[in-house]
Structure 1
Amino acid sequence: MAIEPAPSQWEFPPVGVAGGSDVVAGGADLAPGTVLAAYRRGLFPMPDHRSSLLWWSPVDRGVIEVDGYQPSRSMRRARAKFEIRVDTAFDRVIRACADPRRPGSWIDRDIIASYTELHRLGWVHSVEAWDGDELAGGLYGVAIGGLFAGESMFHHQTDGSKAAVAGTIELLNDEHAADRVFDIQWVTDHLATLGAVSIPRETYVRRVSAALDVPLPKAFT
């Protein structure tokens, strides 16, 4: 059972104030209550290149539709190569995602500390692809009711991150699949090959609001 932290001292504006921008607000902090309040409103934190803390809600939000998901042949092959585990190597997963050698790396020490504390409280989880005793890839994300907000993924072996995505879809694809939201922030060319699509920000926020009352997947309880 996740532990609800102290409420945030900050109040986020409605995402609509951003107009055509993906950035809704700046400042605040990364306390557990603040971060959870943001996700519940359709926002997520990400520092910019100046290390300023910004709160994002993309106009075109990337999601993977879990209900009725049909994996491609390459997804099925990737998934079959690895064992999927949950929360057995969270520290290794988030630090691999934060590797500063990766192009576009944005996960700094403050983000690591915040999400590690949220993991300790039961809100953030890692989904890992294992090849025997070797961590081949993985991802981490925030689980609140029927929302799973994927934050970042990595691979040490070919198809390791793809298998982690496939494993996450399996974990979310239960009797509540139609009401779940698997958020992947933006649709990249790579994520599009995994089945990601864009939906309007207003649709995303409405779906998240409804998803908050959906039970967690068993793997994350």
Structure 2
Amino acid sequence: MKEETTDGPIFFLSDQLYFPPVEQANSEGLLAVGGNLSSERLLLAYQSGIFPWFNDDAFLMWWSPKTRMVLYPEEVKVSKSMQKVIRSGQFRLTKNKRFKAVIEHCSAVPRDGQEGTWITDDMKKAYLELHKKGFATSYEVWDEKELVGGLYGIDLGHIFCGESMFSLKANASKFAFIQMAKELEGKNYKLIDCQLYTDHLASLGAREIERTLFMKRLKGQN
């Protein structure tokens, strides 16, 4: 089912496991609303270049913006100050040790310009289920025995779809992002999908590319 808007049709999803082509997203990148957060639907979304993003009191909304913020792992920028932080040994990185704690922190940490969080209880449950099935991955940053930062996302095997990150100490999320990028570069990953532009991501080397190019990379094309 679809509803006409001034910007084109918005698809309303049913229980059927389906998404319309990403080219049918509106100018803001909104492609469809409705459906559910089953593991199968979430995986289909990421594999199709689509991600969920919505507020607690809103419909499920599925997005595929015309430009995509991405990081080519080999292009990660490590500032002189971050080089010093890495050399200092202040932080230690682990992987998939505290996924639930990472997503809880990501939902709780206040963000500029946002009154609430899009990481609702239903979202947490959905990504925890994906984690149990081996698709959702977390990176944790420790200062001695204290969890001070981290990030999580969906690992497609050649592209890592980043979802959210948090810092309780300065530079902790940067440390996680940089170390993850280096790991994925060594594994020949094509991209880290950062979804939407932020100055913070740009400072780490991420840049916007056209959706058409992103979809080619997603499909494994050069």
Is the pair's TM-score, using the shorter chain for normalization, greater than 0.5? Answer: yes
Q: Which residue of 2 aligns with 1:89?
A: 98
Deviation at 1:175, TM superposition (A): 4.9
The answer (yes or no) to whether the contact 2:153–2:163 under 8 Å persists in 1 is yes
Question: 1:60, CA displacement in angstroms?
Answer: 1.4
| DSSP 3-state at the match of 1:79 | helix
| Matched letter for residue 10 of structure 1 | L
Q: Quick check: 1:27–1:54 contact (8 Å CA) kept in 2?
A: yes
Instruction: Work out the percentage of aligned pairs sharing the same amino acid.
Output: 37
How big is the shift at 1:91? 0.8
What's 2:5 paired with? none
TM-score (norm 2): 0.85
Residue number in structure 2 paired with 1:126: 138
Residues 5-53 of structure 1 deviation map (CA, whole Å, 9 limit, x = unaligned): xxx8321001101142311111111000000000000001111363211
For residues 136-185 of structure 1, the C-alpha deviation after alignment (integer angstroms, 9 at most, x for no partner) is: 100000001101000000011111111110111022011524xx210111
Contact 1:78–1:162 (CA<8 Å) still a contact in 2? no
The 5-angstrom pairing of residues 25-104 of structure 1 reads 25-48=32-55, 50-80=57-87, 81-99=90-108, 101-103=110-112, 104=114
For 1:49 and 1:140, locate their aligned partners in 2 and report how far apart those are by CA, in whole Å. 20
Structure with larger Rg: 2
Aligned to 1:23: 30
Please, what TM-score do these two structures have when normalized by structure 1? 0.85
Q: Give matches, 1:1-221, under 5 Å.
A: 9-48=16-55, 50-80=57-87, 81-99=90-108, 101-103=110-112, 104=114, 105-177=117-189, 180-210=190-220
CA distance in 2, matches of 1:190, 1:200: 20
- Aligned partner of residue 173 in structure 1, secondary structure: helix
Q: Distance in 2 between matches of 1:158 and 1:68?
A: 22
| Shift in alpha-carbon separation, 1:98–1:171, aligned structure 2, 3 A | same
Could you tell me how far apart the structure 2 residues matched to 1:124 and 1:107 are? 14
Distance in 2, matches of 1:79 and 1:131, equals 12
- Measured in 2, the distance between the counterparts of 1:176 and 1:62 equals 19
User: Aligned-pair distance for 1:74?
Assistant: 3.0
Who is 1:5 aligned against?
A: none
Alpha-carbon distance in 1 for matches of 2:72, 2:85: 19
Which is bigger in relative contact order (C-alpha 8 A, separation at least 6)?
1
Structure 1 residues 9 and 45, CA, compared in 2 at 3 Å: closer, same or farther?
Answer: same
State how many pairs are aligned. Answer: 202
Structure 1 residue matching 2:108: 3-state secondary structure: coil
Q: Which moved more, 1:37-46 or 1:64-73?
A: 64-73
Q: 1 CA distance for matches of 2:133 and 2:56?
A: 29
Letter in 2 for 1:186: L
- Partner-residue secondary structure (3-state), 1:30: coil
Q: Per the alignment, do residues 132 and 205 of structure 1 end up closer, same or farther by CA in structure 2, a change over 3 Å counting?
A: same
In 2: Cα distance, 1:157 partner to 1:69 partner = 21
